[in-house]
Amino acid sequence: MLSQAAIKKIEEVQKKYPTKRSAVLPSLFIAQEEQGWVTKEAMAEIAKVLAIPPTQVYESATFYTMYNKKPVGKYHVQVCANLSCSLLGAEHVINYISKKLNIKTGETSSDKKFTLSTVECLGSCDTAPMLQLNDEYHENLTEEKIDKLLDSLD
């Protein structure tokens, strides 16, 4: 269940758009910000608030990788695996992080600290290979940079 505060935010955000459907993406972010991921119940609530069919919310939530469809760890490590990043070593980055965290892509560590995911292009191709850690980009990755980044997290 979304909180009343989240529902109010969704009601407010929809006023910024010409159509209610245009407010789906920011509404999904509001739900994810509150719950850490987007549940099917949250999608249904968003549809209800926006007065649109639930399928329109569901199709957006499942199309975009930035919406978590299951719980994630405290730190969500999202490695871009698209073309530019692949050409510049994304597979090595993924394997390196996977080994370091002892989890496979799509998994969350048993202590719920880390989730490792691969995602589509994050629009930072000129600094490939790169990853997004929660809301922050980390670019031009090397093993040393990955070590420094992951070792700094408590």
Interacting residues toward ligand FES by CB under 6 A: 80, 82-85, 121-125, 128, 130
User: Strand pairing partners for 75?
Assistant: 114
User: Strand pairing partners for 53?
Assistant: none
72 vs 130 by CB, closer to ligand FES: 130
Report the candidate in 87, 24, 78, 27 with the shortest Cα–Cα distance to residue 52: 24
Q: Under a CB-based contact definition with an 8 Å cutoff, are residues 130 and 124 in contact?
A: yes
83 vs 153 by CB, closer to ligand FES: 83
What is d(CA 99, CA 85) in angstroms, rounded to the nearest whole number?
19
Distance in Å, CB of 90 to ligand FES, minimum: 7
52 vs 88 by CB, closer to ligand FES: 88
Which tokens belong to 71?
């719980």
Distance in Å, CB of 144 to ligand FES, minimum: 20
35 vs 82 by CB, closer to ligand FES: 82
Distance in Å, CB of 88 to ligand FES, minimum: 8
